[in-house]
Amino acid sequence: MAQANELSLTGGGYFPSSSQVDLGTGWAVEGSFAHRIFSVPLVGIYAEFPLAHNFNTAIKTLPGSYTGTFFTPGLKLKFAPGFFASPYLAAGVGLGHLHAAAQTPTALLGKGDNSAAYDFGGGLDIKVFPFVSLRAEVRDFNSGGLGFAVPGISSRQNHLFVTGGVVLRF
């Protein structure tokens, strides 16, 4: 329990949803810093600062592609942080930035859009060394959409990140 900080780097897949336009899938990376602010023997609460990015993702039903970056500071509730396997839940509120790389007649693309964003998710840390763990995580970032001017398409977009990587504790 002496290590109060976590620094993680994960990578994996990006799966957008909640849209009537097929936005395709892509690659994603996420980095996070977390600091434990409270703990009892089987539960730890952390202040967390995740930064996630999806790479050039093709829009299947329209010409063009886009990227997204999300910064949503929040809290992480970690169960059994001193054990070999530690599941956790996380949630936060912050900023999302989507940038489209092409102009189409039905969308306001070719520019970047900032919007309020929130996230929620969870994962599992497996200790492999005293200060190193492997992490598997699923996190959904919800932010403003790509600015489609098509009736029936939500102005909000879910961005699901499914990633795995490494955690350093210090």
Of 5, 31, 2, 4, the residue nearest 137 (C-alpha): 31
The residue segments making up the domain with residue 124 are 5-169
Query: Residue 90's beta-bridge partner residues?
Result: 76, 121
Coil, strand or helix: which one is 73?
Answer: coil
Q: What sections of the chain are H helices per DSSP? A: none
CA atoms within 13 A on the CB side of 35: 3
Task: Supply the CATH number for residue 35's domain.
Answer: 2.40.160.20
Confidence of residue 80 (pLDDT cuts 50, 70, 90): very high
Q: Above 80 in pLDDT, residue 150? A: no
C-alpha to C-alpha distance for 96 and 110, rounded to whole angstroms:
17
The DSSP letter of residue 23 is -
User: What pLDDT does 1 receive?
Assistant: 53
- Cα 21–chain centre separation: 21
Residue range 35-62, pLDDT digits in tens: 999 999 999 999 999 999 998 887 776 6
Task: Give the chain's domain count.
Answer: 1
C-alpha to C-alpha distance for 46 and 25, rounded to whole angstroms:
30
The pTM assigned to this predicted structure is: 0.88
Confidence of residue 109 (pLDDT cuts 50, 70, 90): very low
Maximum separation of any 2 CA atoms in the chain, in Å: 57
C-alpha to C-alpha distance for 33 and 50, rounded to whole angstroms:
6
